[in-house]
Chains A and B, each alone.
Chain A
């Protein structure tokens, strides 16, 4: 299992042809207390860069963009009832899973060392 990161502060866990996606601890620190979450519909095909989910903190609403192209195969409904979980455990709070359309898109993403350098 590989974990990759985007410049927009999302993490992707790659297992086979499915990517599980969440936001990073850095992102939740910037956002502050998360109070609302809007997730994409299962079955929807997201293009890379398309607005996929909305994370709202007490301060503002922020879009989460699809880091790669793919079909939404599962969303974390339980998290919408307890969105503050993102603040306590961002790495463990997945938002949605995508069936990866083009594995070549993963090449543009960062590994943990590169992401750590990116946020330093």
Chain B
């Protein structure tokens, strides 16, 4: 195998190994938070207010804010935990996934409902989520992809070391005439 190709493979092995470690750690971290969330108490919540509102997109420049609006689900609900009443508008999803289309879909799902089940953090009852997050698929998928590359590239390096260029020639048996 040419040396430059071997160096590229070494680099790819290194990058794949980083990918495996990074994604695995991320999956473990998220899995930990998911596991913790599993201990949260499921309770009933009742809708006090729900409406879908169009608001300026504050992430854009000022002149575009009123042109490109975003949907926001204005949701307020109440719930009881340990005989105490609470009111919240928390949804419990990452900000990056909490986009305009998500807000629209959420409002459509809850608009005709009387209430819904929520998960309450027993340590801090103000901390609630409408559903259990389970987002480790992406990290697990990435880990498997990086791991597959890692194994294959490592095998190529192993092959180039174990079987040098004259390996096949050395296996052929010559007889003296």
Partners in one complex: no
Q: Which residues of A line the B interface, CB within 8 A?
A: none
